[in-house]
């Protein structure tokens, strides 16, 4: 559980701070921590809310990946905020898709959590109003309702099973080699029928399309990508021997072990005045990781937490008294910064001459953090 506060949160949504697809308006953008479906660990991701879906991306080297890691369709989605089943994570809210799949997301503060939930709820309500006015999604809703007793997460677990799941192999399409793919879309439908997950191939296509809509499966190669781009909701998945698919990237990695760090209780006794997600450069490996930063006063300390871990212990921190904070030039990579990380960078030099490099999601966030830190140095 991270320390709570009632102030210091950035009330302005991070609009268009990262590149969004053309012709798509981002209603809100920012970091959230998401619980995995197969491996129940927590990962920080960059989320983009649009009119009909919530997509998420991995964030590395100072920018988000160009390809999405998953998406959550918002039509008929149910938002629960706050969601209090996680005792050590009070900032979680839950999205339940129309297919009955639960998605658990954690914000950096109560204010951020409530704003995300409100914006998502507004998008869901707008989609519902459009559907009542004659949106052409009725057939898809009917097809999914026929499979309402199927638990998509359990289907995914069975598909992922080492001994009885779907076989993965390498395939070529138009001269390109793709690794770790299903043999074809038709093989997925074959497996669903053989394992008695569905009765007919039509139901198999509908179920596979639902798995794709939830972000559990992804397209591989030009044929399946083109089908996803042009087909209707009920035809996202192709029962075809030449269309390639695979598991989403989010299902392929295991969790990591956190290094234990002991900090004085005095450091953590101050009042929380600001908190938020920043990228931080490591001191040894010089790699960049998303951290939840918490600024405290009396005594003034800046601590940072691994947002994937639901506990009370920071992974590091330092006293602000006697420190120097500065904004780094946005033109090129500044001295001391490793990797192609540019823009919205700030640097803190502690009284003991230890250097910390951080990156904010936007210029305004960077200046807000610099002003807050300077107030306590």
Distances (CA, A) of 46 to 33, 55, 175, 254: 9, 8, 33, 19
Cβ proximity of 215 and 72 under 8 Å: yes
Q: 28-132: which CATH number, 2.30.29.30, 3.40.50.2020, 1.10.10.60, 3.40.50.460?
A: 2.30.29.30
Cβ proximity of 92 and 82 under 8 Å: yes
Computed from CA positions of residues 357, 362, 365, 370, in that sequence, does the dihedral angle turn out positive or negative?
positive
Supply the CATH classification number for the domain 271-374: 2.30.29.30
Averaged pLDDT of the chain: 78
Query: Which of 68-77, 91-100, 132-141, 354-363 is predicted least confidently?
Result: 132-141
Q: Which fold has domain 138-251?
A: Arc Repressor Mutant, subunit A (1.10.10)
How many whole angstroms from its chain centre is CA 43?
7
| Cβ within 8 Å of residue 66, ≥6 positions away | none
pLDDT tens digits for 54-75? 998 887 655 666 666 788 889 8
Helix (H, G, I), strand (E, B) or coil at 113: helix
- Is pLDDT at 150 greater than 50 in this prediction? yes
pLDDT tens digits for 354-365? 999 999 988 899
Question: Taking CA 152 as the corner, what is the angle to CA 101 and CA 91, rounded to the nearest 5 degrees?
Answer: 25
Distances (CA, A) of 342 to 222, 328, 356: 32, 9, 15
- Domain boundaries of the chain, sorted by first residue: 28-132, 138-251, 271-374
- Is pLDDT at 369 greater than 90 in this prediction? yes
- 132 exposure class (CB count in 10 Å sphere: 0-12, 13-18, 19+): exposed
Confirm whether 28-132 and 271-374 share one CATH topology: yes
Quick count: other Cβ atoms within 10 Å of Cβ 78? 13
């Amino acid at each position: 559980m991270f320390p709570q506060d009632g102030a210091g949160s950035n009330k302005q949504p991070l609009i268009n701070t990262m590149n969004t697809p053309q012709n798509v308006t981002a209603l809100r953008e920012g970091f959230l921590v998401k619980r995995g479906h197969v491996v129940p660990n927590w990962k920080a991701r960059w989320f983009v809310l649009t009119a009909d879906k919530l997509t998420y991306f991995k964030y590395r080297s100072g920018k988000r990946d160009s390809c999405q890691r998953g998406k959550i369709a918002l039509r008929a989605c149910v938002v629960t905020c706050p969601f209090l089943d996680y005792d050590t994570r009070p900032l979680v809210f839950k999205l339940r898709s129309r297919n009955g799949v639960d998605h658990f997301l954690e914000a950096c503060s109560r204010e951020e959590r409530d704003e995300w939930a409100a914006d998502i709820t507004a998008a869901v309500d707008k989609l519902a109003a459009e559907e009542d006015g004659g949106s052409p999604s009725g057939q898809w809703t009917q097809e999914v309702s026929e499979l309402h007793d199927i638990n998509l997460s359990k289907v995914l677990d069975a598909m992922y099973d080492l001994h009885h799941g779907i076989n993965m192999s390498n395939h070529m399409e138009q001269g390109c080699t793709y690794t770790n793919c299903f043999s074809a879309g038709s093989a997925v439908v074959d497996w669903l029928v053989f394992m008695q997950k569905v009765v007919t191939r039509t139901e198999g296509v509908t179920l596979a399309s639902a798995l794709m809509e939830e972000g559990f499966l992804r397209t591989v190669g030009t044929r399946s990508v083109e089908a996803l781009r042009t087909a209707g909701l009920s035809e996202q998945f192709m029962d075809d021997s030449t269309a390639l698919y695979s598991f989403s990237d989010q299902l392929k990695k295991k969790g990591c072990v956190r290094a234990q760090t002991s900090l004085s209780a005095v450091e953590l006794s101050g009042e929380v005045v600001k908190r938020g997600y920043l990228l931080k450069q490591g001191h040894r490996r010089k790699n960049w990781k998303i951290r939840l930063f918490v600024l405290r006063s009396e005594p003034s300390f800046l601590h940072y937490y691994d947002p994937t871990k639901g506990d009370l212990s920071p992974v590091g921190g330092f006293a602000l008294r006697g420190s120097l904070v500065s904004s780094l030039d946005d033109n090129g990579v500044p001295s001391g910064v490793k990797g192609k990380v540019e823009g919205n960078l700030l640097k803190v030099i502690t009284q003991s001459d230890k250097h910390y490099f951080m990156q904010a999601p936007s210029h305004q966030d960077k200046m807000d953090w610099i002003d807050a830190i300077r107030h306590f140095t």
